[in-house]
Chains A and B, each alone.
Chain A
Amino acid sequence: MAAFDTLASSWRSAEDPTTNGEGALLDHARQLDRFLADVERRAFRIAQIALRDVDDALDAVQDAMTKLASRYAARPAAEWRPLFHRILENTIRDVQRRRTIRRRVMAWVPTWRPDDDSSVEEPADLAADPSPHGAERAMHAQALERLEESLRALPARQRQAFVLRNLEGLDIAETAAAMACSEGSVKTHYSRAVHALRARLGEVW
């Protein structure tokens, strides 16, 4: 593969008719587009579970996509997935950190009130659905809400291990790459996450 650092340089090379293998480079860029299209909804759900806010989740996903495309487009496509999850998790953590700082600063303002979660669809809203599948939808939504609440209650590393291993289906090596830790640490975090979730949700959840 030609040596280029960013998607911009790869595209520039691809647009340059004098460059050899421009078709391959353009394919690479298209491949990245396809990868992002495949992963965007899942990434949004991961961010939404962690941040509990639609707009913040969308911003986090866009940030992560931009960073991947700007900095790591030249990496082999097989590396994109763990890289993307690592970037996304860092972005989520940045948002959470900013929120914490904002809360601490704004706590000094007498008229300030913390943001409510009005953008989150509550299971009670779904229960009002009069369609034949309304009750079933409500039950699923309630179960999902409990799962998400339990995931949010986990320490960040445990949540990340559970989401990547169980919900995203990454193998241990990919999860370790995404979490920037050893495979042993992944197993430990995952095991603790499972125990904590079972304790919160119960065996019959």
Chain B
Amino acid sequence: MANRVPVDWEARSRALYEESIATLDLRTRSRLTEARHAALDAARRPRAAVGRMLPRWSWLVAGVAAALLMAVVLRIAMPSGGAAAGTEGSAARAEDAGLVASADPADDPVRMMSEDADFYTWAAGVAASADAGRTE
């Protein structure tokens, strides 16, 4: 407990502390005076009505909400960019389709058969008559 501390020990620490306060340099004293005036001025200025009504953490919430709103606005504003991207995408798809369409029909047997049906009908007739000649 406090009464177990030697009086001189306790007193010495206090004396050193008091001396350090008394010998504070002028610059620090002057800055402290300025700080006091600034603090009193700040306290004297009435806060805005909103500032008085809202708790301090509400500003943090408002900041986060503003950031989210900004993100949403940017996302919505993207359609010009997004549409461009979409147009680019559809153009690319159309180009791919063109490439596919302009590919050699011989690569696609179904397409080849549907486009040259007359040829295959004629070829089948020729083959059938040749077979008939051979059997005769």
Residues of A within 8 A of B (CB): 6-9, 11-12, 32-33, 36-37, 40-42, 44-45, 54, 58, 61-62, 65-66, 69-70, 73, 140, 143-144, 147, 165-167, 169, 187, 190-191, 194, 197-198, 203, 205
Contact = CB atoms under 8 A, between A and B. Distances in A.
A32 B40 CA distance: 9
Interface of B: 1-2, 4-6, 9-10, 12-14, 16-17, 19-21, 24, 28-29, 31-33, 35-36, 38-40, 42-47
Nearest to A45: B21
Given A41-B21, A61-B35, A198 B9 contact: yes
Contacts of A37: 33, 36
A166 B35 contact: no
A44 B28 contact: yes
Given A33-B36, A61-B32, A62-B39, A144 B14 contact: no
A190 B21 contact: no
Contacts, number: 99
Contacts of B13: 147, 166-167, 197
A180 B43 CA distance: 24
Contact of B35 (A9, A45, A62, A167): A62
Contact of A44 (B9, B24, B42): B24
Given A66-B43, A187-B1, A58 B21 contact: no
A191 B40 contact: no
28 contacts: A7-B44, A8-B44, A8-B47, A11-B44, A32-B40, A33-B36, A37-B36, A40-B32, A40-B33, A41-B21, A42-B21, A45-B21, A45-B24, A58-B32, A62-B38, A66-B38, A143-B16, A144-B16, A144-B17, A147-B17, A166-B10, A167-B13, A167-B14, A187-B1, A187-B2, A191-B2, A194-B2, A203-B6
B36 A6 contact: no
B32 A44 contact: yes
A65 B47 contact: no
Given A7-B44, A8-B43, A58-B31, A45 B17 contact: yes
B21 A36 contact: no
Given A40-B35, A194-B2, A167 B43 contact: no
B78 to A, nearest CB: 32
A120 to B, nearest CB: 12
A147 to B, nearest CB: 6
A36 B39 contact: yes
A12 B1 CA distance: 48
Contact of A41 (B10, B32, B46): B32
Contact of B28 (A54, A197, A203): A54
B32 A45 contact: no
The 5 closest A-B pairs by CB, nearest first: A69-B43, A65-B39, A62-B35, A66-B39, A7-B43
A191 B2 CA distance: 6
A198 B21 contact: no
A65 B37 CA distance: 10
A166 B45 CA distance: 37
